[in-house]
Structure 1
Amino acid sequence: MAAGSWDLQIEQGATFAETYTTVNDDGSPVDWTGWTGRAQIRVLAAPDAELLLDLTPYLTITGAAITILVPATVTATLTRSGRWDLELTDGTTVMRLLQGRALLAPEVTQ
């Protein structure tokens, strides 16, 4: 399965919350119980590029739901846009589910 393309729209200084679900060919949800997730935002899509935010601590998996919930205090520290991806692992199996841009909308109100 090839990774889907999904851009994150992050508002600086606001809570970021998104939940993703995947479905099988028959429309039933994929159960990710037992899998571990990891995600990062980097300046470029390269493993040695500057890390802007490690999303892994803000990622939870509950059955078919994969949720990223980043507090406003953390998004307030972001200063630029970048690239991101989301991978799930189960032992030696690694599945990249999503990838794309992480677009930052700067905060105006302080």
Structure 2
Amino acid sequence: MLLLLLLLLLLLLLLLLLLLLLLLLLLLLLLLLLLLLLFCLVLLETLAKASLAAALCWASGRVSLSGRVAYMVRNIGRALRRACKRGNTERQSEALRHNITSGGATATPSDET
């Protein structure tokens, strides 16, 4: 009878421990959800500030939409010209491939000029 009572007490203690562990996991999940919510709020605040700043610049006439598009096109053109100045990309990639397979120590097209 005493053994049965001790076994029942041990079982009750294990159930209490399991319940405590479950509660701890729920608290951890709640903390993670709160951190995710905080991250989303900070992201939304940053986007709101950026869009407000862009709207104010556009409304004040400092940056027009057509000017922004022209700026992007000009940057793309500069990048393309830089790529063309570097030489034949096919020849460079072939030299790089040869460099990798041979273990290096060969001249690349940029070294030849």
**Which of these two proteins has the greater Rg computed from alpha carbons?**
2
For the criterion TM > 0.5, the same-fold answer is no
Q: Which has the higher contact order (CA 8 A, sep 6+)?
A: 1
Task: Give the TM bin, normalised by the shorter chain.
Answer: under 0.3
Greater fraction of residues in strand: 1
Q: TM-score, normalised by structure 2?
A: 0.17
Greater fraction of residues in helix: 2
Q: TM-score, normalised by structure 1?
A: 0.17
